[in-house]
Amino acid sequence: MPHRHHISLIPLLLAAILIGGCRPAAAPVTVVAEATPSPTATATVAPTAVEVTVPIVTPAPTDAPTAVPTPEPTPVITAAPTPVPTPEGLCGGRFPDKFSETEVLTDSAYRSRDLAIFLTKVHDETSFSSFVTYFVADIYVQDITLLKTAPAGQDFNSPMAGSVKKMAQTNGALFAASGDYYAHSNRALIIRNGASYNDRPSTRFESCVLYRDGTMAFYAPEELDPQAFLAAGAWQGWTFGPSLLDEAGEPRTDIPASYVGVNDKNPRCMLGYYEPGHYCVVVVDGRQPSKRYSNGLTLLELAELAHQLGCAKAYNLDGGQSAQIFWRDGIYNHPTGGGRSISDILFFTATGRP
């Protein structure tokens, strides 16, 4: 029985390696596996080489990490504050509804940027001891120098007297009222439009000073010092009186009997003060009982009226036949006996007038 020869593949592999030499490392490597002959084969079968190509995978370079910037905090936007206009004038931004950017003039009111006057007529049958008719001018002013005074003569050294209407028209007044009749006495405090016309007043009556800052103050006869008042900013100064309210704003009950007609019903004129820039002028008609029109008020009742109107301070000016209001083109109230000539007025002009 013939012998079967086993062919060894090892020499062949070594020869192939020697013949092929060394391949570059980057080339694919072919691995040849030795085939095992089938046990039932009757012939010698050449070994079959099975090639398996294993690629050399060069790993892709790792991308450098992308730097992610730290997010900036979202800025919080704060709205710029709206500038608040600095209020100008004595009213300091108060009473904006009283003024007007354009001039408005009606039968009973005047409004502009700096001045507002509202006139009201009142007939009262119940508040006082008798029926009375009075007129209230509610006044708002940004600059106290708009409240002016004027004499009947050339200046306040003149003893002349004239009609309220004529003085008002001469000075281009929109509104005017009787003053303190300074010419009735040469001893009065006379500070008018920022100047003193009597540096040595000697009077037994209380005086009133209105300052440039809009405040009002009262002084006893022994306290009168015109130059000191001017240095402190006095704009107007009158002597008539008395003041009508006490320190608490209540009606005075201690008015001295030296004031004429304390308890008599008469026509009256009063300057009221609420706060800087806000005033009132009140004229009371009197001595006219016909048709129950108006009997007038006593000084004590005038004090009650000042309190009723809400004034903080009030000062009595020249009354009787002197008590008159001029409005626009003529006398607005009904002065007893048609009124009389006096030495001075207080007044306002409309914007654009002299």
Contact indicator for 156, 192 with CB cutoff of 8 Å: yes
48 and 129 co-located in one domain? no
48 and 157 co-located in one domain? no
Nearest 5°: the CA angle 190, 176, 167 is: 75
50 and 127 co-located in one domain? no
In a domain, 81, yes or no: no
Instruction: Quote the pLDDT of residue 261.
Output: 84
Q: What percent of the chain has pLDDT over 90?
A: 72
In a domain, 78, yes or no: no
Which position has the higher pLDDT, 170 or 59? 170
160 and 264 co-located in one domain? yes
Number of domains in the chain: 2
18 and 137 co-located in one domain? no
Instruction: Extract the tokens encoding 295.
Output: 């009997």
Reply yes or no on whether the pLDDT at 9 is more than 60: no
CA distances for 208 relative to 212, 236, 315, angstroms = 13, 8, 7
15 and 129 co-located in one domain? no
Average of pLDDT values for 288-297? 98
Q: Which domain holds residue 252?
A: 104-348
CA atoms of 8 and 30, how far apart (whole Å): 20
In a domain, 82, yes or no: no
In a domain, 87, yes or no: no
143 and 241 co-located in one domain? yes
**Which amino acid is it at 244?**
L
Reply yes or no on whether the pLDDT at 30 is more than 60: no
CA atoms of 125 and 122, how far apart (whole Å): 10
CA atoms of 141 and 145, how far apart (whole Å): 9
50 and 185 co-located in one domain? no
Instruction: Extract the tokens encoding 336.
Output: 């007893």
Reply yes or no on whether the pLDDT at 42 is more than 90: no
**Bridge partners, residue 148, by sequence:** 347
231 and 340 co-located in one domain? yes
Instruction: Quote the pLDDT of residue 184.
Output: 84
In a domain, 94, yes or no: no
Q: Give the pLDDT confidence of 134-191 residue by residue, as tens digits.
A: 999 999 999 999 999 999 999 999 999 999 999 999 999 999 999 999 998 879 999 9
3-state secondary structure of 117: strand
Confidence grade of residue 28 (pLDDT, cut at 50, 70, 90): very low
Instruction: Quote the pLDDT of residue 142.
Output: 96
81-117 b/e (C-beta count within 10 Å ≥ 16 → b): eeeeeeeebbbeeeeeebbeeeeeeeeeebbbebbbb
Q: Tell me if the bond preceding 59 is cis, omega within 30° of 0.
A: no
Average of pLDDT values for 114-124? 98
Confidence grade of residue 48 (pLDDT, cut at 50, 70, 90): very low
CA atoms of 221 and 185, how far apart (whole Å): 14
- Tokens 């009132």, residue? 280
Instruction: Quote the pLDDT of residue 205.
Output: 95
In a domain, 292, yes or no: yes
Half-sphere exposure (CA, 13 Å, Cβ side) for 151? 17
Instruction: Quote the pLDDT of residue 352.
Output: 57
In a domain, 60, yes or no: no
Average of pLDDT values for 4-31? 43
**Which amino acid is it at 325?**
I
Confidence grade of residue 67 (pLDDT, cut at 50, 70, 90): low
164 and 48 co-located in one domain? no
18 and 125 co-located in one domain? no
In a domain, 64, yes or no: no
| Nearest CA among 234, 256, 275, 232 for reference residue 316 | 256
31 and 154 co-located in one domain? no
Nearest 5°: the CA angle 321, 325, 330 is: 105
